[in-house]
Amino acid sequence: MTNIIPVIMSGGAGSRLWPLSRQAMPKQLLPLVTEQTMVQETAERFDGDIFTDPVFICNALHVDGIRAQMAEIGRDVSAFIVEPVGRNTAPCAVVAAVHAAAQDEEALVMLVPADHHVKKPEKFRDVIAKAIPTAKAGYLVTFGITPDGPETGYGYIAQGEALEEGVYKVDAFAEKPDLETAKAYLEEGRYAWNAGIFLFSPESFLGEAQSYASEIATEAKKAYERASHNGNVIDLNKEIFAACPSESIDYAIMEQTNKAAIVPCEIGWNDIGSYTSLQAARAEIKSDDQGNAINGSVMVEASENCLVHTDSLPVSIIGLSNVGVIVHEGEVMVVALDQAQVVKKIVTRLKDSGETHRL
Amino acid sequence: MTNIIPVIMSGGAGSRLWPLSRQAMPKQLLPLVTEQTMVQETAERFDGDIFTDPVFICNALHVDGIRAQMAEIGRDVSAFIVEPVGRNTAPCAVVAAVHAAAQDEEALVMLVPADHHVKKPEKFRDVIAKAIPTAKAGYLVTFGITPDGPETGYGYIAQGEALEEGVYKVDAFAEKPDLETAKAYLEEGRYAWNAGIFLFSPESFLGEAQSYASEIATEAKKAYERASHNGNVIDLNKEIFAACPSESIDYAIMEQTNKAAIVPCEIGWNDIGSYTSLQAARAEIKSDDQGNAINGSVMVEASENCLVHTDSLPVSIIGLSNVGVIVHEGEVMVVALDQAQVVKKIVTRLKDSGETHRL
């Protein structure tokens, strides 16, 4: 039987969810959607004999937190690979592949972000199983999300010819579209959202990486080989890893290779990428009759489709529509959910004004 | 020269401004618009030889606070008349008149709410001076505010025949109108907002009160006569005052008497009766280029005409329009300014659920 090594990329800062997500306790370490934290949800997703214990790639700051959260749900961690600096997903994927190959030459790597919500994990496991032969045949398989609307916030992947039932060659990657284009994609039917979830054999992936992103392949591998080890914590060599180009796996490899495959799937996926999507995910699980998703001591009057979260002071809202109110760790943010992308600007202002202690 | 005794009615709860306004520290004791508290602003308004030291009619809870705030601005208080329970403005006015008559038979009473903002106090003093002869002649003079828009949140007073230049007999009192009626009033020109500000001779007022509201006149007078005195604090007799009918001076007397007069005036008046009017008053004094009135540690992005006030946690707002965000004494409220009247419902819910400690 093929082993699958889940490699959970947990290096993100989640700054679009500030002030919920903070440097010391970012998005992936928080119970954002369910009562489990995002890394707990993600680890639980890879339940079954086919999966090994997970590997986390993360910042040194978060090793202890992840370890404690995994202990909480009774899960062992195979290894923590510590990134001394963030270098986007391409170096991360190379390190994952090199590490996996060192563990088990026959295993596949399941590379996933730590901070996504999947409402239907059984369906996710089904499509993973379906993708195994294709991945074993050398394809770099990505799992695309079948759109349920003309979303402009995600990249899209167009499927080409069928390889297996429900598995296709990738025809093209497309940037975040405008609304008209997104509607056309939806109409056409062969486009899926790019969710940044991959299944591949280390050998095949490393071959493609060497062909299309040789500097990244070489340097990231070297950073892993010259890592220092402490128990199950692997500290990538800082100097070498920092010198590695910072590129996404899509840009550096997936968009270049002829071996990209896609499995479109409907797994109740939500990237919790903004307060807008957090509101949607929470409201699906629990909301009042007006679609307000509430967490903490909150009174609501004449409001609809709001997200209210408080860890401390009681909150009252009146007459609001599609607004997020976040009271968390000494900060209050009130944001129109259709402008949730602007949260980044606040984070930038705090950085620029030297108020990094608030991040 | 005629003395004018300012009697400042300071018994309100200001619950429409919860959580800024609290039982222990209501609206009138807060620096809501300027750096002075509302009672300080109000007392300073009666500046000049013509005015005696002010009298406050208030709740026992607030005597010390008002005394301290008057000391802060170097003002003596003539007397504190303590209401054991609130009985609306008619009994209050009777008590004011009885008290004034006992001090100085020739004096006039200037009866005013403690919690209004007047941007142009000199103009206010000018119209007071203009009204003196009419008040001395026995008219109960009210100061109406010349409308600057079709406001539906105030009662209106229609002026009748002229008594002096700029002083008119009252033709009629009108309830809060609908928008169409308010527009008609504005068009017609002879309607002013009822601001609840009065100038009268005690003798004349008490005569009219006896004619039109004899029970209130009799009982309120008795509550004053059987008050207990402690320094300059006069505690109205609780049993008697509590038995007094609770009615407004307008309903009980002004709408009945033939001696009602009105002085329309433009004094930059704002009753700070809701977060909507508080936003307007603050923005007139200081706002950013988008009309946001900000108080405390606040970051603003893509927002306009908001009111943000925090006494503690820093607040960030994004993409909001006409929204009030109040962080005060352990409570957070976010309210659409066009629905600010709903704040009352939150206060009622807190009362009903026994959470009076939060009021």
Neighbours of A101 (CB within 10 A): 19
pLDDT value of position A1: 73
User: In this complex, do A313 and B302 lie within 8 Å of one another by their Cβ atoms?
Assistant: no
Where does residue A201 rank: exposed (0-12), middle (13-18), buried (19+ CB within 10 A)?
buried
Q: Please, what is the Cα angle at B330 between B324 and B334, to 5 degrees?
A: 20
Query: Within this chain, do residues B332 and B265 fall inside the same structural domain, yes or no?
Result: no
Q: Which of helix, strand or coil describes residue A228?
A: strand
From B26's Cα to the closest Cα of chain A, the distance in A is 19
Q: Is the per-residue pLDDT at B2 higher than 90? A: no
When comparing pLDDT for B175 and B1, which is higher? B175
pLDDT digits (tens, 9 = 90+) for A223-278: 999 999 999 999 999 999 999 999 999 999 999 999 999 999 999 999 999 999 99
Residue that terminates a domain, selected from A255, A270, A285: A270
Across residues B234-238, what is the average pLDDT? 98
- CB proximity A297 to B under 8 Å: no
Nearest Cα residue to B225 out of B107, B81, B109 = B81
Residue that terminates a domain, selected from B252, B270, B288: B270
Query: Within this chain, do residues B311 and B202 fall inside the same structural domain, yes or no?
Result: no
Query: Within this chain, do residues A245 and A280 fall inside the same structural domain, yes or no?
Result: no
Query: Within this chain, do residues B224 and B321 fall inside the same structural domain, yes or no?
Result: no
User: In this complex, do A332 and B340 lie within 8 Å of one another by their Cβ atoms?
Assistant: no
Q: Which residue of B has its CA nearest to A321?
A: B336
Q: Which residue of B has its CA nearest to A314?
A: B331
Contact A232, A211 (CB under 8 A): no
pLDDT exceeding 70 applies to what percent of chain B?
Answer: 100
Q: How many angstroms separate the CA atoms of A317 and A291, rounded?
A: 14
pLDDT digits (tens, 9 = 90+) for B297-317: 999 999 999 999 999 999 999
- CB proximity A146 to B under 8 Å: no
Query: Within this chain, do residues A158 and A236 fall inside the same structural domain, yes or no?
Result: yes
Token digits of residue A330: 């000494």
pLDDT value of position B14: 86
Helix or strand holding residue B193 (H, E): strand B191-200
User: In this complex, do A346 and B316 lie within 8 Å of one another by their Cβ atoms?
Assistant: yes
Token digits of residue B90: 């008619």
Token digits of residue B269: 């008046």
Neighbours of B61 (CB within 10 A): 12
Contact A66, A8 (CB under 8 A): no
The secondary structure of residue B51, as a DSSP letter, is: B
Question: CB-CB: which of B302, B320, B335 is closest to A318?
Answer: B335
Please state, in angstroms and as integers, the Cα–Cα distance from residue A57 to each residue in A146, A209, B8, following that order: 28, 19, 68
What single letter denotes the amino acid at residue B118? V
Q: How many angstroms separate the CA atoms of B293 and A41, rounded?
A: 42
Token digits of residue B294: 């900000």
The label of the residue with tokens 């600096």 reads A85
Question: CB-CB: which of A310, A318, A340 is closest to B346?
Answer: A318
Residues 42-71 of A with CB under 8 A from B: none
Residue that terminates a domain, selected from B270, B293, B309: B270
pLDDT digits (tens, 9 = 90+) for B18-57: 999 999 999 999 999 999 999 999 999 999 999 999 999 9
Rg value, chain B, Cα: 20
Across residues B265-282, what is the average pLDDT? 96
Spell out, as residue ranges, where chain A has pLDDT lower than 70.
none
Helix or strand holding residue B349 (H, E): helix B343-352
Token digits of residue A305: 């489709």
User: In this complex, do A334 and B334 lie within 8 Å of one another by their Cβ atoms?
Assistant: yes
Where does residue B346 rank: exposed (0-12), middle (13-18), buried (19+ CB within 10 A)?
buried
pLDDT digits (tens, 9 = 90+) for A135-146: 999 999 999 999
- Report DSSP letters for B242-308, one per residue: HHS----HIIIIITT-S-EEEEEE-S-EE---SHHHHHHHHHHHS--TT--EEESSEEEES-BS-EE
Query: Within this chain, do residues A238 and A135 fall inside the same structural domain, yes or no?
Result: yes
Q: Is the per-residue pLDDT at B145 higher than 90? A: yes
Contact A34, A121 (CB under 8 A): no
Token digits of residue B204: 């004349």
Across residues B163-176, what is the average pLDDT? 96
Query: Within this chain, do residues A46 and A177 fall inside the same structural domain, yes or no?
Result: yes
- C-alpha of B115 from chain center: 5
Q: Which of helix, strand or coil describes residue B114?
A: coil
pLDDT digits (tens, 9 = 90+) for A76-91: 999 999 999 999 999 9
Q: Which of helix, strand or coil describes residue A218?
A: helix
Query: Within this chain, do residues B177 and B163 fall inside the same structural domain, yes or no?
Result: yes
Token digits of residue B50: 């013509």
Contact A182, A193 (CB under 8 A): no
Using a CB-CB cut-off of 8 Å, the residues of chain B touching A19 are 316
From B329's Cα to the closest Cα of chain A, the distance in A is 9
Question: CB-CB: which of B310, B320, B349 is closest to A299?
Answer: B349
Range of the domain at A119: 4-270
What single letter denotes the amino acid at residue B21? S
pLDDT value of position A12: 86
Residues making up chain A, counted from first to last: 359
Point out which residues pair with A269 in neighbouring strands.
A118
Helices assigned H by DSSP within A113-201: 121-136, 179-188
- Return the half-sphere exposure (C-beta side, CA atoms, 13 A cut-off) of residue B336: 16
Please state, in angstroms and as integers, the Cα–Cα distance from residue B218 to each residue in B52, B138, B225, following that order: 26, 20, 11
CATH code for the domain of B174? 3.90.550.10
Query: Within this chain, do residues B243 and B289 fall inside the same structural domain, yes or no?
Result: no
Query: Within this chain, do residues B171 and B312 fall inside the same structural domain, yes or no?
Result: no
Query: Within this chain, do residues A71 and A145 fall inside the same structural domain, yes or no?
Result: yes
Query: Within this chain, do residues A251 and A328 fall inside the same structural domain, yes or no?
Result: no
- Report DSSP letters for A2-48, one per residue: --EEEEEEE----GGGTTTS-SSS-GGGS--SSSS-HHHHHHHHS-S
Q: How many angstroms separate the CA atoms of A346 and A324, rounded?
A: 15
Total structural domains within chain B: 2
